[in-house]
A and B are shown apart, each in its own frame.
Chain A
Amino acid sequence: KQEVTQIPAALSVPEGENLVLNCSFTDSAIYNLQWFRQDPGKGLTSLLLIQSSQREQTSGRLNASLDKSSGRSTLYIAASQPGDSATYLCAVLNYGGSQGNLIFGKGTKLSVKP
């Protein structure tokens, strides 16, 4: 059974720092991995999607990497800003699971202090 873990559960950094969020998964048979952002009381905003054949994806100050063999992904945020404060969730889409069943981690709650 696929399990997705995100460490740390919470992270506080001063504005301007570069930071890395970690995601690990137990079953490497995945179609893709997706990173989301969730603001308090809101839905999920898709940030980056990495197909299983890819190693990384970039969007603006965000860079996500995928090492499928080791079951790890990282989300790198450059020059963090207070507006980046949110919970970041990663999710994997498994082979053999029901169509489109994303398995989520519990998220990392990021706080960027001005």
Chain B
Amino acid sequence: DAMVIQNPRYQVTQFGKPVTLSCSQTLNHNVMYWYQQKSSQAPKLLFHYYDKDFNNEADTPDNFQSRRPNTSFCFLDIRSPGLGDAAMYLCATSKITGVRNQPQHFGDGTRLSIL
């Protein structure tokens, strides 16, 4: 059974048209992450929520924002997608307990295409 679910699997949007990607989890993990992975590249962390606390990576463009209305759901909003934002977007969760961090669990990703 899928524990980290991303919708949709494939998303096509127009240049400059706002788009929202969604992620839900049934693991009750306290941390949720959004990664961007471009073709043949390593996944790169955009931001994460530790409970309700939002943590933005220093080099994440302002064009990317996130919302976490409750423990189970997290959204990635791209306000004005550019051609360079075409990528696979991966959501992950983990349970942080002190310094012995648990594995991160990933969803199947949403592949975003920009026309």
List residues of chain A with CB under 8 Å of any chain B CB: 4, 31-32, 34, 36, 41-46, 49, 51, 89, 93, 98-102, 104-107
Contact = CB atoms under 8 A, between A and B. Distances in A.
Contacts of A44: 43, 90, 92, 106
Give the interface SS of chain A, mostly helix, strand, loop or mixed: strand
Contact of A34 (B4, B45, B48, B104): B104
Contacts, number: 66
Contacts of A106: 40-42
Contacts of B111: 41
Residue from the set B31, B44, B57, B101 with the largest chain A CB neighbour count within 10 Å = B101
A100 B57 CA distance: 11
A99 B42 contact: no
B43 A99 contact: no
19 contacts: A31-B99, A31-B100, A34-B104, A41-B109, A41-B111, A43-B107, A44-B43, A44-B92, A45-B106, A46-B104, A46-B105, A49-B102, A89-B42, A99-B50, A100-B33, A100-B101, A101-B48, A106-B40, A106-B42
Residue from the set A32, A100, A104 with the largest chain B CB neighbour count within 10 Å = A100
A28 B36 CA distance: 25
A45 B90 CA distance: 12
B115 interface: no
Given A89-B43, A101-B57, 7 more contacts: A44-B43, A99-B50, A100-B50, A101-B45, A101-B48, A102-B104, A104-B42
